[in-house]
């Protein structure tokens, strides 16, 4: 059959709503870099004009033409063996979006997809199409699905009132002030236009969504939300780190085995819980400084742009400032923690570090300790939130910026013990902290718990356990763990377990 006829038949089989979503997923706002052609980003017209004309004319002709052009580009594309190009990235995104929406063209060359995955050095686990979907876009899709056409129309009206933001933007004028979003697929096109416009204007990204939340907050709940949804529910969904679908993220496990009883148990437990959570896992036994540098170099590869989070377990002996590596060399804990968050592939994504080592030799000994309860009272004033706001600074958009981000932002560091103190171990099972952390994370899957909630529960649980020294005088003591957070959103554990057999790989 003629290819033109095939493409036409394929497009005619896709509903308007799915066409809008396919266009949205295919025009992803943040293409990975570095890669060949990465500076050749989608232009303003390519990403917004088709949406604007579709909304204005209630006609999907321009979106159809865009999708035809993509298919023709991929059909003529020759996969170059060594270089990763912008087209490689777009091909994978297009395929994953089609797979997700169940609209894969029957004529799409799946062997090219496998060849591109080879260029990205993807493992069998990484060839799952869900890895290639952008989690932030999936969250925005759910927000759109939660809103009625009237709600998106109200968002559009609120956006149009911000004259400083829309001044001189031609696509805004194409749509006009009053919009009828009721025809099938038009609501989606208008919502996705608003999202891509705010992203291009550098007002929102995968972490900073305040500007979008403010538009949604101006909607009338009775007319704007789908059944069972509320404005608060929709806004709350934007306040979590986007980690939709499989995998939950990439997990790196580094464990020094030499001289550490139960170290293999630590590895088994952390591997089990990371896979239980739906993470793709890599383990380094007995790491050295060279190992760490090689791992950092590996994580700079383009394929890691597709992951939505990063977790690292580092288990070794240590003192207040440093950790002992397998060859006896020590590294500064601060150097380790500040070198990983700066890796560009995980920028604007949650990065969690579990640092499991002693940070000194002190013990919180129970023998002879006396505790005196202290209480404090204070006056309580019931002050309305409106009154409080009236007394606070008026922070305008002109003094807000989301372009420049401190490297440590979106990072959480969990320590197995507090500064200058021991981190307890069991002879056969290794770190007690690792054991309890894995148990609590496993128990809280499907309960909608956030990571910080679990860490707070872990702090309570661990501090109840009586431990004793394994050498010298018998001393009974307690251990206290804590974490430092630079998170800007909440990181929730996945609702669904991801056993290995549930993962369907793309064609090899």
For the stretch 285-322, pLDDT in tens is 999 999 999 999 999 999 999 999 999 999 999 998 99
Count other Cβ atoms within 10 Å, centred on residue 165.
16
Q: Collapse the DSSP code of 488 into the 3-class scheme (helix H, G, I; strand E, B; otherwise coil) and give the result.
A: coil
In the prediction, which pLDDT does 377 show? 33
More confident residue, 9 or 403: 9
In the prediction, which pLDDT does 483 show? 93
CA pair distance 459, 483, nearest whole angstrom? 9
CA pair distance 352, 171, nearest whole angstrom? 40
268 and 233 within one domain: no
Among 346-350, 448-452, 484-488, the least confident range: 448-452
- The answer, yes or no, to whether residue 49 has pLDDT greater than 50, is yes
CB 234 within 8 A of CB 160: no
pLDDT tens digits for range 149-206: 999 999 999 999 988 888 888 889 899 888 999 999 999 999 999 999 999 989 999 9
Give the strands of the sheet with 249-255, arranged side by side: 279-285, 249-255, 310-315, 351-356, 411-415, 482-485
Among 9-23, 28-42, 197-211, 252-266, the least confident range: 28-42
Q: Which domain holds residue 280?
A: 249-364+405-486
281 and 205 within one domain: no
On whether residue 288 sits in a domain, the answer given is: yes
> What are the distances in angstroms from CA 66 to CA 10, 47, 74, 122, 259?
14, 10, 13, 29, 61
Summary mean pLDDT of the chain: 85
322 and 463 within one domain: yes
Residue 349 DSSP one-character state: S
431 and 297 within one domain: yes
- The answer, yes or no, to whether residue 365 has pLDDT greater than 80, is no
The helix or strand, by DSSP H or E, that contains position 281, with its residue range, turns out to be strand 279-285
Q: How far is CA 152 from the centre of its chain?
A: 25
On whether residue 503 sits in a domain, the answer given is: no
Looking only at the bridges linking them, the beta strands covering 476-478 and 330-332 are: unpaired
Of the chain, the percentage scoring pLDDT greater than 90 comes to 57
In the prediction, which pLDDT does 428 show? 79
- The answer, yes or no, to whether residue 364 has pLDDT greater than 80, is no
pLDDT tens digits for range 405-459: 888 899 999 999 988 888 888 877 889 999 999 998 888 776 778 999 999 999 9
Q: What is the rounded average pLDDT of the residues 122-137?
A: 93
178 and 323 within one domain: no
Residue 478 pairs with which residues in a beta bridge? 364
289 and 231 within one domain: no
> What is the phi/psi pair of residue 354, to 5°?
-100, 110
CA pair distance 68, 74, nearest whole angstrom? 10
Q: How far is CA 109 from the centre of its chain?
A: 30
172 and 131 within one domain: yes
* CATH number of the domain to which 474 belongs: 3.40.50.1460
Instruction: With cut-offs at 50, 70 and 90, classify the pLDDT of residue 503.
Output: very low
CA pair distance 106, 5, nearest whole angstrom? 12
CA pair distance 432, 416, nearest whole angstrom? 9
- The answer, yes or no, to whether residue 211 has pLDDT greater than 70, is yes
Count other Cβ atoms within 10 Å, centred on residue 382.
4
Instruction: With cut-offs at 50, 70 and 90, classify the pLDDT of residue 1.
Output: low
Which structure tokens are listed for 265? 């148990």
On whether residue 400 sits in a domain, the answer given is: no
235 and 253 within one domain: no
Query: Helix 135-146 to helix 186-200 angle, to the nearest 10 degrees?
Result: 130
In the prediction, which pLDDT does 445 show? 74
220 and 259 within one domain: no
The last residue of a domain, from among 210, 239, 268 = 239
209 and 105 within one domain: yes
Q: What is the rounded average pLDDT of the residues 331-337?
A: 92
Q: What is the rounded average pLDDT of the residues 240-255?
A: 90
Looking only at the bridges linking them, the beta strands covering 330-332 and 322-324 are: antiparallel
On whether residue 421 sits in a domain, the answer given is: yes
Total structural domains in the chain? Answer: 2
Which structure tokens are listed for 28? 């992803």
CA pair distance 115, 120, nearest whole angstrom? 9
In the prediction, which pLDDT does 390 show? 56
More confident residue, 138 or 340: 138
In the prediction, which pLDDT does 204 show? 92
């Amino acid at each position: 059959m003629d290819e033109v006829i095939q493409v036409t038949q394929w497009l005619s089989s896709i509903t308007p709503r799915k066409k809008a979503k396919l266009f949205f997923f295919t025009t992803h706002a943040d293409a990975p870099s570095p890669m060949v052609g990465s500076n050749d980003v989608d232009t303003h017209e390519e990403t917004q004009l088709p949406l604007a004309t579709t909304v204005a004319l209630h006609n999907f002709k321009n979106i159809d033409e865009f999708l035809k052009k993509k298919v023709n580009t991929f059909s003529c594309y020759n996969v170059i063996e060594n270089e990763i190009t912008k087209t490689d990235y777009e091909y994978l995104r297009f395929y994953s979006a089609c797979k997700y929406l169940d609209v894969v063209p029957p004529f799409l060359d799946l062997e090219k997809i496998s060849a591109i995955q080879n260029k990205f050095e993807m493992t069998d686990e990484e060839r799952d199409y869900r890895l290639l979907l952008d989690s932030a876009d999936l969250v925005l899709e759910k927000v759109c699905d939660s809103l009625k056409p009237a709600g998106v129309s109200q968002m559009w009206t609120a956006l149009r009132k911000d004259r400083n933001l829309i001044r001189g933007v031609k696509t805004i004028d194409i749509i006009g002030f009053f919009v009828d979003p009721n025809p099938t697929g038009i609501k989606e096109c208008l919502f996705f236009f608003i999202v891509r416009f705010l992203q291009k204007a550098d007002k929102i990204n995968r972490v900073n969504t305040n500007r979008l939340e403010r538009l949604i907050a101006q909607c009338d709940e009775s007319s704007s939300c789908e059944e069972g949804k509320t404005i608060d529910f929709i806004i709350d969904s934007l306040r979590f780190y986007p980690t939709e679908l499989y995998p939950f993220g990439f997990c790196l496990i580094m464990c020094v085995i030499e001289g550490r009883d139960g170290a293999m148990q630590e590895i088994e437990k952390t591997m089990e819980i990371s896979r239980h959570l739906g993470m793709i896992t890599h383990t380094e036994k007995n790491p050295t400084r060279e190992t760490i540098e090689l791992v950092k170099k590996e994580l700079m590869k383009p394929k890691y742009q597709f992951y939505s989070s990063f977790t690292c377990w580092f288990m070794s002996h240590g003192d207040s400032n440093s950790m002992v590596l397998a060859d006896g060399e020590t590294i500064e804990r601060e150097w380790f923690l500040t070198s990983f968050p700066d890796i560009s592939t995980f920028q604007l994504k949650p990065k969690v570090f579990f640092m499991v080592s002693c940070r000194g030799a002190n013990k919180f000994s129970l023998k002879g300790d006396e505790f005196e309860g202290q209480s404090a009272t204070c006056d309580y004033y019931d002050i309305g939130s409106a009154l409080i706001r009236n007394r606070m600074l008026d922070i305008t958009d002109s003094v807000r910026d989301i372009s420049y981000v401190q490297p440590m932002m979106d990072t959480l560091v969990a320590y197995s013990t507090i500064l200058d103190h021991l981190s307890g171990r069991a002879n056969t099972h290794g770190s007690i902290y690792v054991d309890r952390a894995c148990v609590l994370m496993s128990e809280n899957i499907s309960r909608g718990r956030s990571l910080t909630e679990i860490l707070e529960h872990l702090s309570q649980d661990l501090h109840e356990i009586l431990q004793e020294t394994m050498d010298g005088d018998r001393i009974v003591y307690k251990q206290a763990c804590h974490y430092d957070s630079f998170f800007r959103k909440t990181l929730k554990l996945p609702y669904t377990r991801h056993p290995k057999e549930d993962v369907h790989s793309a064609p090899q």
